[in-house]
Structure 1
Amino acid sequence: MVEIKTPSQVAKMREAGLVVAAMHRACAEAAVPGATTKDLDEVAAKVLADHGAKPNFLGYGGFPGNICTSVNDVVVHGIPSRETVLKAGDLLSIDAGAIIDGWHGDAALTVFVGEGHSAELHELSRVTEGSMWAGIAAMHKGNRLVDVSKAIEGYVRRQPRPSSGKYGIIEDYGGHGIGSQMHMDPHLLNYVDRKRGRGPKLVPGMCLAIEPMLSLGTAKTHVLSDDWTVKTNDGTWSSHWEHSVALTEDGPLVLTAPDGGRARLAELGVTAAPDPLA
């Protein structure tokens, strides 16, 4: 069943979302050549402690980190490690989450470590992030879940193709409901699968984590022997962007964006809902 939140519960999720935004800022600043992904995990742990928040990744299904740190051809669920040393030219996804009074926030961004990245990698990240915002803009009353999937896939397919031929929209992972748990119904595909139907109606109080993942090649992935790390089958590099979003009576509120999504949604002709914490 899809959990519908009250305005006060959405406000709590906004608190958790702002902690996630702070985690992202601190970890992105710390993602420099020579740092380890474990260093970033420790930065995230300090932000959580400073805000009186709990991690929702640590211990989830046995996951050993406060954040996921996925480098280059790792799509998602990379485990922070002292052995993984960042170097200039790396592409890093930081997936972070926080809990405030039992309510969850979850978001991811792609970070360029140092310098030396190709124009194609910058474009990969831009397209992935842009498809996320297209999905967020489709989250309004009257639409159904498939309309969000359609907006994400449609945005990707309209972009100039990379030299590999096309972007791979990762098939085995997608967005999800979020609220009193980190992962809840409904599951959100980043592409349209007509066999799944249109999905539930989008109604006020529904909250989704919208998270496209693209590669420069295949849409297929495999999991390493640690039972967490997900890599592309062909070794092509990937990008991952995510925001937690609440649909309110006044439109979408991007819970994990510092400005609630106001600036980016305005570029798409959508008015973000008022911030309940403002």
Structure 2
Amino acid sequence: MIELRTPAEIEQMRPAGRFVAEVLATLRDETKVGTNLLSIDKRAHDMIRKAGAESCYIDYHPSFGASPFGKVICTSINDAVLHGLPHDYVLRDGDLVSLDFAVSVDGWVADSAISFIVGTPREEDLQLIDTTQRALAAAIEASQTTNRIGDISAAVGAVAHAEGLTINTDFGGHGVGRTMHGDPHVPNEGKAGRGYPLRAGLVLALEPWFLQTTNEIYTDQDGWTLRSADGSRGAHCEHTVAMTDDGPIVLTDRSFLGVD
């Protein structure tokens, strides 16, 4: 069921969005060559406890997960692009890191993701991250109450195809509110003018994710981490966005912290 939020409820969602933004900005600043993925998870867990927030991941067990996730943040590295289960891995020079984080604050959920390089970057990785960020910006720009879900999907797809990328639509954006995943599904490719109309009060987690040379993925032996079928690298960017008649509100915006 698709739920619409009142202006007052959207205001109540702001603290969750702000907290998610702060955590991701902190983790990106602290994550370096030599950082262990388990340390990232522990740091996020500590920040959740201090804030009195609630993890959306630790007990999460959907049909596509082998078991409850058991951690509080997704850490996807290099050829892993989604649902990366933190494990005993020390980051190396040039690793492409994607962090996906969702929490509930006072009963309201916010969800966001970032991708970045630790150490010496490769040009093709920077280009992939830039494309994913531009696709997210296009999705947000298309989040107008005069549009439909297909307009968001088409905007994301246009950015990807302009860079010669192919798109996997198995996982994409989704409704968010009292729970992390709700209706509607927002694929990263579609036809403009089609689908559910974007109405004031609709809150979506928009999340373009792309792989460099494929759109095929497989599930790692850990039962969670999704990796590219050909070993190419992936990038993932996400914001929680509320639709209003005055335009979209990015609830997980990090610009107030002086970062993108």
Partner of residue 76, structure 2: 70
Q: Deviations over 1:65-111 (max 9, x none)?
A: 11000000001011111x21111100000001111111100000002
1:234 and 1:27 map into 2 onto residues whose CA distance is 29
Give the TM-score normalised by structure 1: 0.87
1:33 and 2:33 correspond: yes
Gaps of 5+ in 2: 62-67
Task: Kindly report the root-mean-square deviation, in angstroms, between the aligned alpha carbons of the 2 structures.
Answer: 1.7
- 226, 235, 242: which one aligns with 1:239: 235
Residue type matched to 1:239 in 2?
A
SS of the residue corresponding to residue 248 of structure 2 reads strand
1:112 aligns with 2:112: no
Contact 2:154/2:191, CA 8 A, preserved across alignment: no
Pairwise CA distance, 1:6: 1.1
1:193: how far off? 6.4
TM alignment of 1:259-274, pairs within 5 A: 259=255
**Residue 180 of structure 1 aligns with which residue?**
178
Q: What residue identity is the alignment partner of 2:134?
A: G
One-letter amino acid of the counterpart of residue 89, structure 2: T
SS at match of 1:169: coil
Aligned residue number for residue 222 of structure 2:
226
SS at match of 1:110: strand
Q: CA deviation at 1:53?
A: 1.1
Equivalenced residues, count: 252
Choose the corresponding residue for 1:248, options 221, 224, 244: 244
Aligned counterparts of 1:170 and 1:15: Cα–Cα separation in 2: 32
Distance in 2 (alpha carbons) for counterparts of 1:22 and 1:30: 12
Amino acid aligned to 2:171: Y
Q: What is the aligned partner in structure 2 of residue 22 from structure 1?
A: 22
Tell me what 1:87 maps to.
92
Aligned AA for 1:172? D
Deviations 1:104-154 (A, max 9, x none): 000000021112x21111000000110011011000011000000001111
Deviation at 1:252, TM superposition (A): 0.4
Over the matched positions of the two proteins, sequence identity in percent amounts to 37
Displacement of 1:13 in angstroms is: 1.5
Q: Which amino acid aligns with 2:154?
A: K
Q: Answer whether contact 2:151 2:191 (CA < 8 A) is retained.
A: no
Matches within 5 A, 1:57-206: 57-61=57-61, 62-81=68-87, 83-115=88-120, 117-159=121-163, 166-192=164-190, 198-206=194-202
Aligned partner letter, 1:169: I
Given the two structures, how large is their TM-score scaled by the length of structure 2?
A: 0.92
CA distances 1:19-68 after superposition (whole Å, capped 9, x unpaired)? 10111012112211111111001111122222221111111111111100
**CA shift at 1:235, angstroms?**
0.7
Shift of 1:191: 0.6
More deviation in 4-13 or 104-113?
4-13
Alpha-carbon contact 2:33-2:93 (below 8 Å) kept: yes
Q: Which runs of 4+ in 1 moved over 6 A?
A: none
Contact 1:169 1:212 (C-alpha < 8 Å) held by counterparts: no
